[in-house]
Structure 1
């Protein structure tokens, strides 16, 4: 919503009498959508760029010559092509539904009954007149969604706005139809319907809804939003498969967000994985409400989200996790830095970032201040620290005490987590004669980064007590923390440091990074800190925790006396920012 080029003009108190479009024009526009490409088939560009199209060219040439010969002999028979009512008529019904859904927002001074009495062509004419008279890109953004069935990106919106300069009436209406048709055809959007959301926050839960994994960002999203369910009103939304809009969630997707029961999507990386069925989904269009982004959208769909944050009349709020993919790009997957830039291009127009730590807040404040060089006002940054709360354990028999002390290192498979330093420090201590078992546990991370499994395999061949486990559920994670004498999380850079919080949540002391967000957590007690860039510092910290029982007892006492937040308090704090009352304040 922060923008310097978003005009705002009062809506007309009565209908203008504009009548720029006739029924044949709208019918011809709809017919053009179907002649350009069937709604359920590939576009012409997609078809012609396919492998099948190229390899069948000789066959198509032969068949074409055969058809020409038959035509000259008057022997070619064209099979009847029944025109089902479901093509053009259904597209017209969908178009009318979308237009009537946005009409009260664009013509707020016109009564509901009066709007309902207008035929589609007259209503479209009135909406074009309103958008032209106001000059507001926010209203143009909303009208384009209604006509095209897609969320425009910034370039499309600017292109259309420039094309309408100096033209009025029927010419302006036709240009809106023409520009919208490009997007409707490209994304097969003619049958989409629209839900305009004006009275409750819209919550962006794309990856959390579509996939079952539960890494840090998804865990924060689920723990927060699930606590709002049943007591607050909000609208969940995910990106359409083509990234050209926001849509409602299926019941299965809602369950993944609000009632997660574990990873139900183990085959998500398969090339033949079926896309979600969106046939019953509606477009979700926030208008003059709060659009909340608890995830980190990257790549497909961010162009449309950037236009939403820049031009729509919504208050936009996001959780800020970190800027590591750009501030420490050498530490993340080689493709993530490029994708993350699309996220920054989205949030630079946002109203408020809610950082998860003071360190993260500093990163986003720096980015916000840098936006002045682009003539942008930047955004507000507040901090709501993530909680440290008890992790549930399995009911039943307590875990069997291990024969050797267990050192646990939790983190995904990527260089930034610095688990190679943990492995090296462990080898130093094994050579000194200390006996313990090292367990490395976490997500799969970068598949091309094999240093960790390679090192584990090499040390196991030498008889070292080391184990690598991936993709464990919440109960197994809690049990692993409880079995450990202490945990080690010496990441080179973090937005928060969830494994430290998890370890403390079950009463297990931790060895943590001596700077940044993890140091913020460690300052509350229960931790020893080390410089993750200094192997000797890491080994010294692990040695002390392995050999000094008095130190361990003191750290456990510190954990008991910590005064930490809870997920309930965290979700309440976020709702106070996201809710309509928070928007008014």
Structure 2
């Protein structure tokens, strides 16, 4: 093959040469070609795009996003048998690119039914827009094929050498196609065929299109093999007219142009009965099952003995079988049809990497982890997003796929990471890099790195930089700034590490706060730090839904003989368990005749051993307190059902998920009369108290425990007030993620304007050549 620059540039004024970046791999070259061509469309957009393969697969798959239908003329990808080890990765990558892009190209026109059945349909995964159009065979007779004739191409030394061999009485067989010592071309087999022919016809010579450096001819055949180098098209046409027989020993062909070229000149060609050969051979007689049959038929043709008449009659008529005018007409039909069709701009799914490092490793289900699991389970089903779960590998300084066999991501109703199940555990990092290359080709938006968790291990900037190096936009959920503005409630370690987390968070492209309170705190922090806010800020309130549970509309009456009070909260300082225990002890003291029980559900917090000691001391002193630590959702649901009401004694929150979860399950809740918790309580179902005052909390618990009218009123409010579900929340977050950096998040179908009747508009076609 050769690139005729003068021929290409001579096609007109609208030829754009795309130079691949130095040192780029195949995928990077594809993306560079897409970028260069689409940028040129900002000035003048074509009506149709036609591509012939790499590096324009990505462009063809994405062109629909700009309202340009694409057509791919599919010549297939070569088989891998015999390919040198160094060349195999290129062919494997080409197959991967085909499979990831062909489903999104508007029309695919395979050059043979063999290519259609063996590759096109498999790579495309559907048959819509597929039409087989055979190539033409008469191009060597076309006027443009004779451009070299004036320079002596048809009468040059190579052609004269062949003519002299013919005058000397030699029988001439031409090995068709480029000579390849290895691989599917099976070129050395032609030498074995020659050797067998010469047993019957010693005067037979084999002509090979190659040089001494390319063809290793056995010494005993060196006198009977003539190497012709690389003749021009004009020379090749004359050579084909002079020889007696063409031989194609290829073990795979998607069409076989040399075969049809020679048949078009009325010369017989023998080939193996495989690939597309049955579609393009002049007659089935010229097809062979093996070398032995090929040798037998070659001897018959070269000697002229006992030749069947019908195959050669069909050979004589082959010239009219595959004219290029027929191929071009069929292609033009597809171009016109594509240009006149209404093209819907498919936005494509946006790849979203989700950092679930903590959720994949945490066996409990505290607030942030609970949010991550419930949210990402639903984002996984979002048709706008391709969600990929990742975890940070601190030792390797990189992200990798999760390990479903040794993790907790799917616990408590969390998402199941199916792709990670299929990956070799030792190659999770490499597998992630490969997955990132397979993002939806019709999504022109960059992928997203989504941080729904709080990382306090000091690696936040490393995680952000990893994403930036790969061209990802970054989005994060902000849960709270308690370690900044309420340091007395946090451990020294959290206070020390939190600024690093915030430094990375405000460098994200988008921050989604879990409440207006958290968003106000972020604005205050950035102002005090004299820093800058991310360009995209939003407050999307967390939902009330408890796990996967439907909302409880009729909670029923709890046990009248026992007042069970439930507190769901991690045992940490700001959750205020000491005050809760003191208030409960006072309640028990005031009502010794009543059966009261406080149920605590929550894991111990690192560095909060004193709180655990207080709980254990209260239990040891005989206070009716039961600490159930970590429960699964079914067990916790049972505790909610048995409780008369819940208490959330926290002093400060970014949101306060247990409050609204209690309301979702129809249980009134006592919470703080300050901050975001007071805001949550405002719409009903809650009784507020001063969580810094024991007597205030005792009074609230006393009223809700024994005032039936108040209890019924708050329970009714809890079941009636508007509360959002995880589906609602995930839909809003999904829209925010998809809309990040997207100037047109809701594209409408493009309607093509009909051409004016008085002056028909010429269809503009963009054609790519590799």
TM-score for the superposition, normalised by structure 1 = 0.61
CA contact (8 A) 2:570 2:604 kept: yes
Separation in 2 of the partners of 1:300 and 1:377? Answer: 21
Q: What is the match of residue 359 of structure 1?
A: 517
CA distance in 2, matches of 1:516, 1:221: 23
1:466 aligns with 2:625: yes
Where does residue 19 of structure 2 map in the other structure?
14
Measured against aligned partners, the alpha-carbon deviations of 1:420-463 in whole angstroms (never above 9, x if no partner) come to 11111112222223534333423323354233343334333443
Structure 1 residue 545, shift from structure 2 partner: 1.1
Distance 1:368 1:404 in 2: 50
Q: Distance between the aligned counterparts of 1:485 and 1:234, measured in 2?
A: 40
Report if aligned partners of 1:214, 1:263 keep a CA contact under 8 Å in 2.
no
Map of 1:335 onto structure 2: 493
Match of 1:540 in 2: 699
Unaligned runs of 5+ in 1: 1-10, 20-95, 124-196, 265-275
Cα distance in 2 for residues equivalent to 1:430 and 1:409: 16
CA shift digits 1:340-375 (9 cap, x unpaired): 22211211211221111111111122234445x34x
TM-superposed deviation, 1:211: 3.4
Match status 1:568 vs 2:727: yes
Instruction: Judge conservation of contact 2:355–2:390 (CA < 8 Å) in 1.
Output: yes
**SS at 2:604's partner residue?**
coil
Structure 2 Cα separation of the partners of residues 278 and 370 of structure 1: 45
Distance 2:566 2:401 in 1: 40
Pair 1:393–1:571, CA change in 2 (3 A): closer
Query: Would the alpha carbon gap of residues 342 and 423 (structure 1) be closer, same or farther in structure 2, given more than 3 Å must change?
Result: same
617, 625, 644: which one aligns with 1:485: 644
Matched, 1:441 2:600: yes
C-alpha deviation, 1:404, in angstroms: 1.9
> Displacement of 1:383 after TM fit?
1.1
Q: Aligned equivalents of 1:567 and 1:230: distance in 2?
A: 12
SS in 1 for 2:369: helix
- Aligned positions of 1:385-396 closer than 5 A: 385-389=541-545
Cα-to-partner distance string for 1:115-168 (whole Å, 9 max, x where unaligned): 99xx99xx9xxxxxxxxxxxxxxxxxxxxxxxxxxxxxxxxxxxxxxxxxxxxx
- Taking the aligned partners of 1:278 and 1:326, their CA distance within structure 2 comes to 39
**Does the 8 Å CA contact 1:393/1:475 hold for their aligned counterparts?**
no
**Which of 200, 203, 223 is 2:374 aligned to?**
223
| Aligned equivalent of 1:557, options 716, 721, 727 | 716
Whole-angstrom distance in 2 between the partners of 1:263 and 1:288: 24
User: 1:439 is paired with a residue of what secondary structure?
Assistant: strand
Deviations 1:40-63 (A, max 9, x none): xxxxxxxxxxxxxxxxxxxxxxxx
1:357-415 superposed Cα distances (whole Å, 9 cap, x missing partner): 111111122234445x34x4544321111111255679xxx999474211112211111
Partner of 1:583: 742
Paired residues of 1:360 and 1:495 also in contact (CA < 8 A): yes
Residue 578 (structure 1) shift = 1.0
Which residue does 1:168 correspond to in 2?
A: none
Secondary structure, in 3 states, of the residue corresponding to 1:511? strand
Larger relative contact order (CA 8 Å, sep ≥ 6): 1
**Could you say which structure has the larger radius of gyration?**
2
8 A Cα contact 1:348 1:379, kept in partner: no
1:207 aligns with 2:358: yes
User: Is it true that 1:381 corresponds to 2:529 in the alignment?
Assistant: no
Distance 1:243 1:319, change over 3 A: farther
1:301 counterpart residue number: 459
Partner SS for 1:239: strand
Residue correspondence of structure 1 range 161-172 to structure 2 within 5 A: none
Partner SS state of residue 238, structure 1: strand
Task: Report the secondary structure of 1:345's partner residue.
Answer: helix
Farther off after superposition, 571-580 or 235-244? 235-244
Match in the other structure for 1:409: 567
- Across the aligned residues of Structure 1 and Structure 2, the Cα RMSD in angstroms comes to 3.7
2:402 counterpart (249, 254, 264): 249
Does the 8 Å contact 1:322/1:494 carry over to 2?
yes
Change (3 A) 1:12 1:553: farther
Distance 2:667 2:32 in 1: 57
What is the alpha-carbon distance in structure 2 between the residues aligned to residue 462 and residue 430 of structure 1? 13
Change (3 A) 1:581 1:239: closer
What is the SS of the residue equivalent to 2:562?
Answer: coil
Q: Counterpart of 1:279? A: 427
1-side partners of 2:425 and 2:699: how far apart?
Answer: 54
User: What secondary structure sits across from 1:292 in the alignment?
Assistant: strand
CA contact (8 A) 2:571 2:611 kept: yes
Deviations 1:159-218 (A, max 9, x none): xxxxxxxxxxxxxxxxxxxxxxxxxxxxxxxxxxxxxx9952222222222333221112
Asked whether the equivalents of residues 426 and 539 of structure 1 are also in contact (C-alpha less than 8 Å), the reply is yes
5+ unaligned residues in a row in structure 2: which ranges? 1-15, 38-52, 58-76, 78-85, 91-347, 417-423, 437-444, 551-555, 746-770
Structure 1: distance between partners of 2:573 and 2:599: 14
Determine if contact 1:212/1:262 at 8 Å carries over to the other structure.
Answer: no
